[in-house]
Amino acid sequence: MTSERPTREQIELLLEAATHAPNHHNAQPWKFIVLAGHAREELGTVMAKSLADRLEETNSENAQARLNKERNKPLRSPIVIVVVAEPSKQPKVMEIENIEAAAAAVQNMLLTAEEMGLACMWRTGDAAYDPQIKQWLGLESGDQIVAFLYLGYPAIPRLERIPIAFKEKTTWTGWE
Ligand SMILES: Cc1cc2nc3c(=O)[nH]c(=O)nc-3n(C[C@H](O)[C@H](O)[C@H](O)COP(=O)(O)O)c2cc1C
């Protein structure tokens, strides 16, 4: 992605699309945290610190390179939107269903971004499941990070991806 930042209006259209995602019992179990500018740098610093805590040593060239790479990850796009699923507060809504709803919200954002000519990539990685990151973002303990959505303008053409044919993934039953 280039360093050109999408406008606030463009990002708000994505967020609006997200809130129309299907969700069970109208739970609307999502939260969004839009990180721009120095907030991405701060996230990178927390990610690198957390990785350092997990490494056996941090002095070698190899460890320093890994820490640097981690620190720079959120700088790969001008905007990172953290999409969070809240825990279920209703007995009829299973825990997984709120994650599914938040994932549907992410897909709405991806499709809207595509339509607008923006580049948008769904990433997770260790940081998504890291208590230090959740704390820095001010999340509740039951909240789950479903996506780090990297958003910007495409710098390179999208790589072609050929999916496994649906025929190999589908069973038709009772179809005469
Ligand atoms: C839950 C989830 C997590 C993902 N995490 C990563 C990730 O951390 N890093 C990555 O390179 N791609 C990740 N991907 C894959 C990309 O978002 C994307 O689907 C893939 O690169 C194919 O790109 P395309 O859809 O533009 O063809 C993840 C996808 C999903 C659904």
Which of 73, 81, 122, 160 for a ligand 1 pocket mutation test, highest count of atoms within 8 Å of Cβ? 122
Residue at token pair 């938040």:
102
CB-ligand 1 contact for 154 (6 Å cutoff) = no
Please report the pLDDT score of residue 22 as a whole number.
98
Paired sense of beta strands 119-123 and 30-36, if any: unpaired
Please report the pLDDT score of residue 158 as a whole number.
87
SS3 30: strand
CB-ligand 1 contact for 126 (6 Å cutoff) = no
Please report the pLDDT score of residue 2 as a whole number.
97
Task: Name the residue with the closest Cα to ligand 1, atom 12.
Answer: 123
| Side-chain half-sphere exposure of 11, counting CA atoms within 13 A | 19
CB–CB of 69/55 below 8 Å? no
Can you tell me which atom of ligand 1 is nearest the CA of 160?
27
- H-type helices in the chain, by residue range? 8-18, 38-54, 61-72, 95-115, 131-136
Q: What is the mean pLDDT of each run of 10 residues along the chain (176 residues)?
A: 98 98 97 98 97 95 97 98 96 94 98 98 96 97 97 94 97 95
In angstroms, rounded to a whole number, what is the distance separating the alpha carbons of residues 6 and 28?
A: 25
The burial class, CB within 10 Å (0-12 / 13-18 / 19+), for 81 is buried
Cα–Cα–Cα angle for 152, 157, 159, rounded to 5 degrees: 105
